[in-house]
């Protein structure tokens, strides 16, 4: 998990740095930190591992690709023009960064 955690932290730090560097350029830089999503990867995982992921979620379920896509669309809409350098949590209440 250390490599996974370090790489996720790196993406968040890069997002924050680039958000500042590009703030006046018209380019917005944000990232999403999802917890486990109900994707093909989860479907192919051992049931015991999926149960652990669900048990760790305050919402007691996996997220969906559609929920992730909705957040991406929201971040890309013109009304989000004042958000840059932010990390958006998509974890059902369980921060994973």
Annotated active-site residue 4? The verdict is: yes
CA distance 9 to 62: 22
Which of 4, 25, 26, 79 does the annotation list as catalytic?
4
Active site residues: 4
């Amino acid at each position: 998990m250390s490599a996974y955690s370090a790489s996720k932290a790196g993406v968040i730090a890069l997002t924050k740095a680039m958000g500042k560097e590009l703030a006046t350029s018209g380019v917005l830089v944000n990232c999403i930190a999802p917890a486990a999503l109900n994707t093909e990867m989860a479907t192919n995982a051992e049931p015991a591992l999926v149960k652990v992921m669900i048990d760790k979620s305050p919402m007691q379920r996996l997220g969906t690709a559609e929920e992730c896509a909705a957040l991406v669309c929201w971040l890309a809409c013109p009304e989000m023009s004042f958000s840059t350098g932010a990390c958006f949590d998509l974890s059902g209440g369980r921060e994973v960064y």
